[in-house]
Amino acid sequence: MATDELDRFADLVRARRTHLLVDRDRDVPRELIDRLCDLATWAPNHKRTWPWRFASFTGQGRARLGDAFAHDMVTAAVGDEGKRAKTRGKYLRAPATVVVGCAAHPHPTFHDENRDAVAAAIQNLLLGATAAGLASFWSTPPVIDGRTTLDLCGFEPTDRIIGVIYLGWPTSTVNAPDRPAPTITRVEH
């Protein structure tokens, strides 16, 4: 890779920020969401299990997602009514939300590695979003294995939800949080 290409890639990686300062009324085109999900699938994947699952929520679909999570919170005894009320309205904060799920695997190592691959896929999606000029936000699902949300997403009952990704057109920028420099052990002889 030419140095200037690496510089451009470094700029893209550093430009990605987690934030929700977005125009709630400006849609994210479906074709763009599809393209970002396709980009996600180019992540490395041991055993080629293709474990990623995607579900896109826009319009009133976002409220249905909040309702499904709130329902699963009751079943899983997560949070109180205040938290559930917040969850119901949460996904309306951005014009599009992509739920990313992960398939189960019978072998414990590959089960874990499926999740690793999905995390890598999400980073692809986030970087693609950044390149497209979108703001993005990777959030933790309130419940990862609730039947109501998995059904709504069209996922299998054994799948897990790894991330809920908000996408929208930014209305402002945010500063990057400081990052400690990497510690690198060198073994050279």
Ligand X SMILES: Cc1cc2nc3c(=O)[nH]c(=O)nc-3n(C[C@H](O)[C@H](O)[C@H](O)COP(=O)(O)O)c2cc1C
Q: Is 49 in the site for ligand X (CB under 6 A)?
A: no
Instruction: Count residues binding ligand X (CB under 6 A).
Output: 6
Stretch binding ligand X (CB under 6 A), from 36-44, 64-72, 133-141, 144-152: 133-141
51 three-state secondary structure? coil
Of 139, 144, 169, 170, the residue at the interface with ligand X (CB under 6 A) is 139
Q: Is 182 in the site for ligand X (CB under 6 A)?
A: no
Q: Is 144 in the site for ligand X (CB under 6 A)?
A: no
User: Widest CA span of the chain, in angstroms?
Assistant: 60
Using the minimum distance from each CB to ligand X, give the nearer residue, 41 or 123: 123
Q: Is 106 in the site for ligand X (CB under 6 A)?
A: no
Of 82, 108, 177, 180, the residue at the interface with ligand X (CB under 6 A) is 177
DSSP letters, 74-135, are HHTT-S-HHHHHHHHHHGGGSSEEEEEEE---SSHHHHHHHHHHHHHHHHHHHHHHHHTT-E
User: How near is the Cβ of 18 to ligand X at its closest, in Å?
Assistant: 3
How many whole angstroms separate alpha carbon 186 and alpha carbon 149?
A: 46
For residue 168, the 8-state DSSP code is E
Stretch binding ligand X (CB under 6 A), from 23-31, 33-41, 77-85, 132-140: 132-140
Structural tokens at position 25 = 């009324």
User: Where do contacts with ligand X occur on this chain (CB under 6 A)?
Assistant: 17-18, 138-140, 177
